[in-house]
Structures are given as structure tokens and as C-alpha cells.
Structure 1
Amino acid sequence: MTALYLHHSHPVWWQWVTHLFAHANLQHLSNNLFFLLVFGRFVEDTEGAGGVVAVYLLCGLGAGLASFLLSSRATVSVGASGAIFGLFATSVLLRLTSFNWRRLLESLVLGQFVVQQVLGEVKAQLGGGSLMAGGLKVSHLAHLGGALAGVLLVALLTRVPAPPNSAQLPP
């Protein structure tokens, strides 16, 4: 199983993806699945199922890259938490891209939770806190990297023009 983890000292190409699906223990998996269900559904509402998969993978890669670049080479990355933080950020920011009262209200409620989580990660990183999950140290850098990847992804998506509606195309 540890061959699926992203080993920063000697990463193998597939570990950049497989570490997003491997977890330290059942509780780690359960927590990530819960947040994937909740925040994945919010992303799915606006971007569809393919959007959830794309956001999850891109934010997970961003989380792994942040951890890889900013952590020691002795670090091992495992789990979906960084990708989940990307879903946190994406789900809130996508609701702010259109003026809809329901979505704005959802973004306020979700946004408070997301801001609280991100600030907690910043505080833990700056304070040197070392939470443990399944014998592995929690990577606050990966969580922050995933959230940043989600912010960058939404910023990029809002600049890309939408494809023309097929109903508007001439026959």
C-alpha cells in the first residue's frame, strides 16, 4: 500500500495520482469521503460530475505539488485532504460567479466554514502544530495548496469564455 503514497524523497510518476486515493486508516478515509460527498455535490450542481472529477484531480495535484515543493524530502503524502480543500474553495467561489440569491446565501454559509478551515490550517502551519492521522503527520501545506489550486482553477475558469450553446448555432 505504501507504494501508492507520494514519497517526496523519490517520487514515482503514478504516485502523484495514487496518493489521492490511499489513506492512513478508515477514519481518514471516512472523513474525506464525507467532505467529498458534501462539497462534491455543490461542485456537481454547477460543473457536473466531470467537473467534480477534474476539480478533485487538479486540486489534489496542486496539493501534492505544494507539499512536495515546501516540505522536507522525508515527507510522505497520502490522502485526499488537499483535494477536498480544493473542493471547499471551488464550491464557494463558483457560487459567487452568478447573481442568484440561493447561491449567494449558500456561499455565505459555506464560505464561513471554508474560511474557518483555511485559517485553521494557516494557524497550524505557522504554529508548527503536528496533528497525526494513522501515524502520519497531517500536511497543512497540502491542505493550503489544494485550496489555492481551487482558487486558481475558478479564477481561470471564469476567464475562459463559455462554449456557444448548440441551440444558438445555425442549422
Structure 2
Amino acid sequence: MNGSDMISQLELGKPEKRPEKRVNGIFWIILLNLGIYVADHWFQVRGIKTLYLYHNWPAWFQFVTAAFCHAKWNHLSSNLFFLYIFGKLVEEEEGNFALWLSYIFTGAGANLVSWLVLPRNAVSVGASGAVFGLFAISVLVKMSWDWRKILEVLILGQFVIEKVMEAAQASTGLSGFSSGGYALQSVNHIAHLSGALIGVFLVWLLSRVPSQPPDQEVSTLQRKTVKDP
């Protein structure tokens, strides 16, 4: 075996470097949440409040748009922090489309459950349902039975629940919002729980979709034969 053949063999044994995945979707989601908040609370754009979910007579799009609206800065800043962490994990693992699908599906699903359960004079806003959904998805797609991973999930999970609840409690009431006797929900536990459960359901549903068979073609490098010295 000459030197060049030996080098070729060594190169075949090297693990291929995985291409670095660019993360863009989560930043657009964060910017969209920020932009709607600024337009609503800083510039007082009149049409923004039509994006809230009014439980007495909701428009179909409000189940989605309410997941991008927030009543107070405390709630928004907390949600953005966890959106970045868990949204980035989901996007790195599953891609941009899966991130948007997960956010919209869990956020709209949590709002739908809230509308079915909460009083008719309630108004729902906030990304908390999507936050819990992305948290559940990010855990499940990386879950293993390693005790260290389980401990990590338990520690991170209780922290997420505690902080999101605190932020939601801090956003009680909507300053200057009085229209027809509507009441903003202070802490929507229904949205939190349903967002997480919908995230679990989404992962289970996608896991039932059969994956494409792996490519059976042999790469050109693997076709090389070793020459006798």
C-alpha cells in the first residue's frame, strides 16, 4: 500500500462533519412578538387589539394571532427568553418549518382549549401556551433514558413552570383596557397545560409518519479499492 492509498483509507475512517444548521425562524418569531407589542403599547395602533382572542365572539384568526400578543412587558420578556431557548432547540433539531408549525399549532391549540373552558367575557393573549408546547417538544425530541438527561429535564422544567407562572401573575390586568366588560385572564393555567399536551401530541403524531428509506447508494469514496503495494 503506497502513501496516497493509506491516506485515502484514513480519510474514509474519519467521521463526516455535520453541516452547521442556521437558525433563523426563532428570531423572526421573537421579532414578530416584539413588533406587535411595540405597535400595541408604544404606538397605540388601533387595529392591534383586534388580534386578541375575545371569548364571547372570536374571529378564526384570533386563535393564532393572540399567541403573538402580550398585555405587559414582564410577561413578554419572560416568554421571549424561553422562546429563544426552546425554539432554538426545536429549530436546530427539526428545522425552520417544524418550529413555525410547532409554535402556531401549540399556541392556537392552547387558545382553543382556553376558549372552550374559560368564561365568555375573558380575553386571552400571550405566547405561554406555545412556550410550554415548545418546551415539551424540545424535551421529547432529545429525550433519552440517561438519568442525567432526566434530571436535567426535571430541573429545567420546574424552573420554566415557575418563571412563566410568575411572569403571567405579574401581567394581571390590562392597563387602560376596558371594552364591553372584557376581563383579561391573569394566569391562564389552561393554556399552559394544554400547550404542553398539544406539543406531546404533535411529537407523537409526527412520529407515526413513516420516514423515507435511507439512501442505498454507495458514495464514490467508498467505492475506492485498495491497491496492493
Which structure has the highest helix share of the two? 1
Count of aligned positions: 156
Partner of 1:30: 77
Closer, same or farther in 2 for the Cα pair 1:57/1:105, shift >3 Å?
A: farther
Tell me: higher relative CO, structure 1 or 2? Use CA pairs within 8 A at least 6 residues apart. Answer: 1
Asked if the contact 2:54/2:123 (under 8 Å) is kept, the reply is: yes
Partner of 1:94: 141
* Corresponding residue for residue 140 of structure 1: 189
CA displacement at 1:106 relative to structure 2: 4.5
Partners in 2 of 1:133 and 1:163 — Cα distance?
Answer: 46
User: Can you give the 5+ residue segments of structure 1 that lack an aligned partner in the other structure?
Assistant: 125-129
CA distance in 2, matches of 1:158, 1:116: 28
**Structure 2 unaligned runs (5+)?**
1-47, 174-183, 218-229
Once residues 137 and 53 of structure 2 are traced to their aligned partners in structure 1, the CA distance between those partners, rounded to angstroms, is: 24
Residue of structure 2 equivalent to 1:127: none
- Between the aligned partners of 2:194 and 2:76, the Cα distance in structure 1 is 20
Asked if the contact 2:172/2:187 (under 8 Å) is kept, the reply is: no
Query: Which residue pairs with 1:53 in the alignment?
Result: 100
Candidates 82, 104, 110, aligned match of 1:63: 110
Identity %: 47
The structure number with the bigger radius of gyration is 2
TM-score w.r.t. length of structure 1: 0.79
Among 53, 58, 76, the alignment partner of 2:123 is 76
Aligned to 1:162: 211
Q: Give the deviation of 1:113 after TM superposition.
A: 2.5
Q: For the residues of structure 1 that align with 2:149 and 2:81, how far apart are their CA atoms?
A: 18
Over 4 Å off, 4+ runs = 104-107, 115-118
Would you say the 8 A contact 1:93–1:107 is kept in 2? no
Partners of 2:102 and 2:96 in 1: CA distance:
10
Amino acid paired to 1:152: F
Q: CA–CA distance in 1 between the matches of 2:124 and 2:64?
A: 11
